[in-house]
């Protein structure tokens, strides 16, 4: 149980376009979703925390207008990379806390390549 | 189907003793394994990794053991310290650690070090 489905798994887009990444909780309600970006040497950086029905909380240094996060329902959180640039190319992954059980469930990740 | 499994949601260990966190995987294509540590309200930080060509990697108080035939790895922390209390994630990659591909995470084990 407690599965988070993340789509797409891979996407290639042109510079200047926008890309939307979705994370859906399939069998539980995710009131909170964490969005991470993977950097070289495998470290993950927390970008923002989305909460259903309210504005996302962004970490310092993360551009709110560039990385739009929406958490419109208890089962869906989205990250939109707007006006993508090659330096936005990275691996993005979402994670939701497993309420009542403990621990976290991760999505399968999205490999974004901006050309 | 969970490809990386951490079957213990939590583990309590006395300060000074050895903490052993376990992780099992099912995908035989995985060839690089990592452990991350996560404090509340922070993103996971990289702790230690091991390539499938090794069966042990040591870094200070942290040692990771890999048993390829059993598809099992473990993280040993000795001696355990109060600051080690955190959630530990096991992750695996099929890209030889080159950073070219994403990671598959386990659900985490909450380690609690008792004084």
Is A102 at the interface with chain B, CB within 8 A? Answer: yes
What's the average model confidence in pLDDT over A33-43? 78
Find, among A7, A35, A30, the residue nearest to A19 by Cα. A7
Q: Is the C-alpha dihedral spanning B58, B62, B68, B70 positive or negative?
A: positive
Find, among B14, B36, B39, B40, the residue nearest to B107 by Cα. B36
pLDDT at B100: 39
Residue in A46, A106, A108 nearest the CB of B42: A46
Give the whole-number percent of chain A exceeding pLDDT 90.
51
- Nearest C-alpha in A relative to B110: A103
Check residue B98 and give left, alpha or beta (phi > 0: left; psi -120 to 50: alpha): alpha
pLDDT tens digits, one per residue of B65-106: 999 999 999 999 999 999 999 999 999 887 554 443 567 888
pLDDT at A102: 61
Interchain proximity A103–B109, CB inside 8 Å? yes
Whether residue A26 has pLDDT greater than 80: yes
pLDDT tens digits, one per residue of A57-88: 998 899 999 999 999 899 999 999 999 999 99
Residue in B9, B34, B97 nearest the CB of A101: B9
Among B47, B103, B106, most A C-beta atoms within 10 A, so best to mutate, is: B103
Using an 8 Å Cβ cutoff, are B7 and B90 in contact? no
pLDDT at A104: 75
B100 vs A99, more confident: A99
Quote the tokens at residue B61: 């108080």
């Amino acid at each position: 149980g407690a599965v988070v489905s993340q789509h797409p798994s891979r996407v290639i887009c042109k510079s200047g376009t926008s890309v939307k990444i979705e994370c859906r909780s399939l069998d539980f309600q995710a009131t909170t979703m964490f969005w991470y970006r993977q950097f070289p040497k495998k470290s993950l950086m927390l970008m923002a925390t989305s909460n259903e029905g309210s504005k996302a909380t962004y970490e310092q240094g993360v551009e709110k207008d560039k990385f739009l996060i929406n958490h419109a329902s208890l089962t869906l959180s989205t990250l939109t990379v707007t006006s993508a640039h090659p330096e936005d190319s990275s691996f993005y992954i979402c994670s939701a806390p497993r309420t009542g059980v403990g621990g976290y469930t991760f999505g399968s990740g999205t490999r974004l390549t901006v050309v | 189907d969970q490809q990386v499994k951490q079957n213990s949601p939590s583990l309590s260990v006395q300060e000074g003793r050895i903490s052993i966190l376990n992780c099992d995987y099912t995908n035989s294509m995985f060839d690089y394994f990592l452990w991350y540590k996560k404090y509340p309200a922070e993103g996971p930080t990289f702790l230690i990794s091991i390539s499938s060509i090794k069966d042990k990697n040591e870094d200070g108080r942290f040692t990771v053991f890999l048993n390829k035939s059993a598809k099992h790895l473990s993280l040993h922390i000795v001696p355990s310290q109060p600051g080690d209390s955190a959630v530990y994630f096991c992750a695996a990659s099929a890209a030889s650690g080159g950073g070219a591909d994403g990671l598959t995470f386990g659900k985490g084990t909450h380690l609690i070090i008792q004084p």
